[in-house]
């Protein structure tokens, strides 16, 4: 019976970690994708036309 109690504790801890990780990612995605919210600090350094997957020098007109 002691093993069952330990297994339940471990499973509960694992679920808590997973749920916490998912919630943290949801908050990060929400903050990254919200339409407004710029407070004038200029927190968007890259222009909208920059594609991070392209190699440097291929972004010319």
Number of H helices, E strands in the chain: 1, 0
Among residues 39, 57, 59, the alpha carbon closest in space to that of 48 is found at 59
Is 54 a member of any domain? no
DSSP secondary structure code for residue 3 in this structure: H
Is 5 a member of any domain? yes
Is 53 a member of any domain? no
Is 45 a member of any domain? no
pLDDT attached to residue 11: 97
List, run by run, the mean pLDDT of 10-residue segments along the chain (61 residues). Answer: 88 98 97 74 57 63 61
pTM: 0.50
């Amino acid at each position: 019976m002691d093993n069952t109690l330990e297994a339940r504790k471990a499973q509960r801890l694992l679920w808590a970690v997973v749920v916490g990780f998912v919630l943290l990612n949801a908050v990060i995605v929400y903050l990254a994708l919200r339409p407004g919210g710029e407070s004038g600090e200029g927190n968007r350094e890259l222009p909208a036309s920059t594609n991070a997957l392209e190699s440097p020098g291929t972004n010319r007109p």
